[in-house]
A and B are shown apart, each in its own frame.
Chain A
Amino acid sequence: MANKLNLTLKVWRQDNAADGGRFETYPARGIDEDMSFLEMLDVVNEELIEDGKEPIAFDSDCREGICGTCSLVINGIPHGGRKGTTACQLHMRNFKDGQTISIEPWRARAFPVIRDLIVDRSAFDRIIQVGGFVSVRTGGTPDANSMPISKEVSDKAMDAAQCIGCGACVAACKNGSAMLFVAAKVSHLNLLPQGKPEKTRRAERMVWKMDEEGFGGCSVTGSCEAVCPKEISLDFIAKLNRDFALSVFK
């Protein structure tokens, strides 16, 4: 039988974007160490509802670490600090009995809070909309094997393409910068021959949009890489900077 934990939660509650927000304290009792962090919150929410209170609003969907919906800062660290792990895949066996755990939303100017732990990340979508694609239409494409791509290049593009768009990189950055997110998409497409024709335009437009959306500048401290659940490498930011420089000097 799995071990049980008794915990104290300090949870950020905020009714809406205009509300100032506050921490509230809740007990989490008899938590099974096999639970995921979000399942632990489900249990707490069930108790809150039964006590006639409003449950804690938080985002989640796939609960298997791939959709990028969950977005909790746990004890000050986006996704809780286990290497390469989203909050939904963080299991309670990583915590100690009696521990106090703080839970906050992503905090960044470009990600306004909607309610409690839920933030608005639509700025990420708008960045993709200006250049995070290859401009091809459906149909009329050449045979998939007509353009060989070396395994090394393809693998590297895949390393970058794994980004789940969760926004932990922004939440971890003291400047609220989205450079790792933008670098991952620019690198994925710019590394591949399909993405080359729009390479500089893509880098230029996405960086410009990122600034416009209110994300901060990058000072390469690497906190983004440290919390990234897909372990996207900081090297991609260097690549983005090169591609962006080309757009300036073109």
Chain B
Amino acid sequence: MSLNSNIPSGPLAQKWDQHKFDLKLVNPANKRKFEVIVVGSGLAGASSAATLAELGYRVKCFCYQDSPRRAHSIAAQGGINAAKNYQNDGDSVYRLFYDTIKGGDFRSREANVYRLAQVSVNIIDQCVAQGVPFAREYGGLLDNRSFGGAQVSRTFYARGQTGQQLLLGAYSALSRQIGLGTVQMYPRTEMLDLVIVDGHAKGIITRDLTNGKIERHAADAVILATGGYGNVFFLSTNAVGCNVTASYRAHKRGAFFANPCYTQIHPTCIPVSGDHQSKLTLMSESLRNDGRVWVPKKKEDCRKRAADIAEADRDYYLERKYPSFGNLAPRDISSRAAKEVCDEGRGVGPSGLGVYLDFGDAIKRLGENKIRERYGNLFDMYECITGENAYRQPMRIFPAVHYTMGGLWVDYHLMSNLPGLFVLGEANFSDHGANRLGASALMQGLADGYFVIPYTIANYFATSKQKCPSTDHPSFKQAEENVTGIASRLLGIKGKRTVRSFHRELGKLVWEKCGMARSKESLEAALKRIPELREEFWQNVNVPGSGQSLNQSLEYAGRVADFMEFAELLCTDALNRDESCGGHFRVEHQTEDGEALRHDDKFAHVSAWEFKGVGNKPELHKEELVYENVHMSTRSYK
């Protein structure tokens, strides 16, 4: 099957504007005849559901949380990028585009990224109009700060809670539509299968998490905005409920999964404290605006208190290795640098897996009050978790899984290879290449939902002749039987091990073999072990309770069952991509300085995988990446 990215022709800067004109429209009176399913209510889901309903489509929106306001976008801390150039520091749409392409290590699509940079400016206008209380200067205008991988200040923020405020903005727009009756909201409802009719995505099967009721929903199109798959690693900064189920079950129905090996390990998270831990907590990248990262120069100093280590004995390794970006080096590079110094035995804290993020100089320069104003809530959170006061002693941080750049394959219209199935936000693969820059996830989620999908979905409706099927169609029956079959199988095993113990073991395996550093040997070992573990899961998992009531063990078991299969896809892709790029670091491919070494001759493509049955090798489809405007240089932040 050929992968057509449907990138419009013409000069980069005019592609989207011209294409918006070329796309077919649905006239206002006809829009109400089309029904759209939106799965997920984070930035991408809520913004698309609200916007499509405003336009006149009939929308059903689903989320597993008890309210759409709780989707995990809410936890994003630092900010959102936009090429407003309010600082007059040389920013432009082209620069944001270029930084994002370069930050992604030349593994994303030029046309998509350019469009993202273009609409970034509209997002800020939209959010302000909704009442998002972005930080302001005394003159009343919006304030900005810097994020990793950029030399301009283009990040808009609302204290350390930008994701919360943006999500509440999208939630307010969504709520308004629910109140008006144009969106039917289904909270505490999980999508468990995608329904394909005549090759088009035309519905979903859901489970009501409060009473176990399985339902069929038909529509003219299905939008997945279901986030990333970071929880395949068990420990990540994702919410504990985040899962790959919706995406993966769509994959099993034929949607291609692109670049699953592109996972982002965020450099500034609170280190793991013990086996009991259920998740890891991010400390916003914005802290690196004022915090300096260091470890002791000498191993023997690692056990000393930070205050007892003399200035001359500290190694500010990011400033040393990357003088022009310093502490704001991109995430993949900062994470690997932290791993490197810890591997050398210079890590700090009880586990030796930690580095310092020190605000001592910033407090001296700006005063404690200024630092409190900028990052107060983050310092409070740090103290809550660790019991340590970061105004008095440096924070300890370590990299943790945070975001996944890979996702379901989509074309320029954000439509998957299955017509009628659109994928937005973190759930798709398209904009961040092999590494995402800070403050770009919020930008992408809202760009997709507010400003891209309204145009492209209309074109699908106007050109596709597929009618919304009845839920009595045999495809619905078959999908429903699949869903009830999985639940009864899980409940019937009555084995000895809990779901969590399987998830923890899988996550540890994937982290060790396919985490910050990957090799042929480690990946082959993982690919050998994952099917064994999956086999054991299906033989020996213990899922108590019944399917006809609220049953958190059953919900969790279904998600972990999918991670058990998805992990194999992730490692297969990582093994196949025999190069290093961005967050995907194959130890066999590095420069003399230990930086990622790409092989553009062999791997300047998107790897899109087609499901071929559980345990069978998926089929690889390639989409070549063509760079007409930027030169694929070696990334340097030195």
Contacts and interface: CB of A to CB of B under 8 A. Distances in A.
B543 to A, nearest CB: 9
Interface in A32-91: 32, 34-36, 38-39, 42-43, 46, 49-50, 52-55, 57, 59-69, 84-85, 89-91
Contact of B140 (A114, A115, A122, A148): A148
A150 B385 contact: no
B465 interface: no
Contacts of B178: 125, 129
A46 B553 CA distance: 10
Interface in B65-93: 65-70, 72, 74-75, 84, 86
Given A2-B273, A46-B500, A62 B239 contact: yes
A69 B66 contact: yes
A63 B276 CA distance: 14
Contact of B544 (A53, A133, A149): A53
A194 B126 CA distance: 11
B164 A66 contact: yes
Given A122-B66, A148-B140, A194-B129, A63 B279 contact: yes
Interface stretch (B168-176, B422-430, B518-526): B168-176
A215 interface: no
B140 A151 contact: yes
B381 to A, nearest CB: 7
B613 interface: no
A158 interface: yes
A138 B70 contact: no
Contact of B130 (A32, A43, A120, A134): A134
Interface in B156-197: 158-159, 161, 163-165, 168, 171-173, 175-176, 178-179, 185, 187
Contacts of B478: none
A64 B238 CA distance: 10
Contacts of B240: 60-63
Interface residues of B, number: 83
Interface in A156-215: 157-158, 161-162, 164-165, 188-189, 192, 194-195
A9 B237 CA distance: 28
Interface in B203-255: 210, 237, 239-241
A59 B51 CA distance: 30
Contacts of A42: 276, 278, 500
Interface stretch (A139-147, A220-228, A237-245): A139-147
B272 to A, nearest CB: 10
B10 interface: no
A121 interface: yes
B384 A121 contact: no
A141 B128 contact: yes
Contact of A148 (B139, B237, B542, B552): B139
Contacts of B164: 66, 162, 164
Contacts of B340: none
Chain A interface residue number, banded = 35 or more
A132 interface: yes
B69 A125 contact: yes
Given A2-B274, A50-B498, A133 B133 contact: no
A93 interface: yes
B544 A54 contact: yes
A36 B384 CA distance: 9
A165 B385 contact: no
Interface in B466-506: 496, 498, 500-501
Residue picked from A16, A132, A195, most chain B C-beta under 10 Å: A132
Contacts of B8: none
A130 interface: yes
Contacts of A137: 54
Given A61-B239, A158-B158, A138 B278 contact: no
Contact of B387 (A39, A43, A91, A118): A91
Given A54-B544, A130-B179, A151-B137, A69 B129 contact: no
A236 interface: no
Contacts of B274: 2, 32, 34-35
Contacts of A55: 544, 552-553
Interface in A2-24: 2, 15-16
Contacts of A130: 179
A173 to B, nearest CB: 20
A32 B274 CA distance: 8
Nearest to B141: A145
Contacts of A64: 75, 237, 279, 281-282, 381
A148 to B, nearest CB: 3
A161 B552 contact: no
A135 interface: yes
Contact of B133 (A121, A129, A157): A157
Given A65-B381, A133-B176, A138-B51, A145 B129 contact: no
B131 interface: yes
Interface string B111-145: 00000000000101111111101111111111000
Contacts of B278: 36, 38-39, 42, 63
Interface in B19-60: 47, 50-51, 54
A248 interface: no
Contact of A84 (B141, B173, B380): B380
Contact of A52 (B50, B544, B552): B544
Contacts of A62: 70, 72, 74-75, 239-240
A122 B187 contact: yes
A49 B276 contact: no
Residue picked from A121, A128, A142, most chain B C-beta under 10 Å: A128
B384 A91 contact: yes
Given A2-B274, A50-B542, 7 more contacts: A16-B549, A16-B550, A34-B276, A39-B277, A54-B544, A61-B65, A188-B133
10 contacts: A34-B273, A49-B542, A54-B545, A61-B65, A129-B176, A138-B126, A145-B84, A150-B140, A154-B136, A161-B168
- Nearest 7 interchain pairs by C-beta: A148-B140, A129-B179, A133-B172, A141-B129, A158-B133, A144-B128, A61-B239
